[in-house]
Amino acid sequence: MLPQLLGGARTTLIFCVASLAIALTIGLLVACLRLVAPRPVGILAAAYVEVFRNTPILLQLYMVYYGLSQFQFVDATFAGIATLSLNYGAYEAENIRAGLQSVDRGQWEAAQTLGMRTFRTLRRVILPQAVRLMIPPVTNDFIYLLKDSAILSLITITELTAVAHHYADQNFDSNPYIFAAILYLCLSYPASQFAHWLERRVSRGIAGAA
């Protein structure tokens, strides 16, 4: 049973890393649109964030998996990664926007004075400074993602929760749940310690700069 559980943990991790990567891409795009794009586009981006943050991820998963099931390419893997990415894209958009906005206004003005365009300013001046501030909340979201990925077990993906539930159900045994919980803790605890450490470092950095 333990090898299967470890295999499930591996699937969980793969889904989470892939989804976070896509979510960060979506988030960066949406955050930049909200800050610099013309108003209608900005409103659309804001609507995306509000809709995905204010409805349950489980409902979103069912919408993608069952609602798009007549398309050939929509299988459980696609639906799972798409849902996790779109949902977390909304949260990352807010993290990234908060990071971008916390960079001093004078940095924008200075870059403009040097003749830099908006996009170049974002990429060369603002983003590098903002990334430092984004890392702790993004790490925290990764921990949430690890746990939220348990919903994938409800659409037949054999990640950690699914494997545990399968063995528990089959043998009327509660141990698989305990093992699975320990494995989740093994995945999330180092990440949470890392986030704490980063937070301390970042706040010290700000205090030092001031």
Partner 1 sequence: MSTLWSTWQLTDSILLQGAWLTIRLSVAALAVALVLGILGALGRLSPIRAVRALAAAYVEIFRGTPILIQLYVSNYVIVGWLNDRNVNPDSFIVGALTLGINYGAYMTEVFRAGILAIDRGQREAAQSLGMRNARVFRRIVLPQAIRVVIPPMANNFITLIQDSSYLSAISLVELTNTSEAIASGQGLAIRWQIYGFAGALYFLMCYPVALVARRTERRLRRRIG
Point out which residues bind partner 1 (CB under 8 A): 50-51, 53-59, 62-63, 66-67, 70, 143, 146-151, 153-154, 161, 164-165, 168-169, 172, 174, 177, 180-181, 184-185, 188-189, 192
Cβ at position 178, least distance to partner 1 in Å:
8
Please, which residue, 46 or 116, has the CB nearer to partner 1? 46
Alpha-carbon distance of 21 to 143, in angstroms, equals: 14
> Tokens in use for 65?
């998996």
Please, which residue, 126 or 167, has the CB nearer to partner 1? 167
> Tokens in use for 64?
């993608």
Cβ at position 100, least distance to partner 1 in Å:
19
Cβ at position 123, least distance to partner 1 in Å:
30
Cβ at position 210, least distance to partner 1 in Å:
16
Cβ at position 58, least distance to partner 1 in Å:
4
* Residue type at position 41: V
**Residue 34: exposure state from Cβ atoms within 10 A (0-12, 13-18, ≥19):** buried
Alpha-carbon distance of 30 to 48, in angstroms, equals: 9
Alpha-carbon distance of 153 to 95, in angstroms, equals: 28
* Residue type at position 154: L
Is 164 within 8 Å of 177 (Cβ atoms)?
Answer: yes
Please, which residue, 5 or 130, has the CB nearer to partner 1? 5
Please, which residue, 185 or 206, has the CB nearer to partner 1? 185
Is 202 within 8 Å of 133 (Cβ atoms)?
Answer: yes
Please, which residue, 48 or 184, has the CB nearer to partner 1? 184
Length of the chain: 210
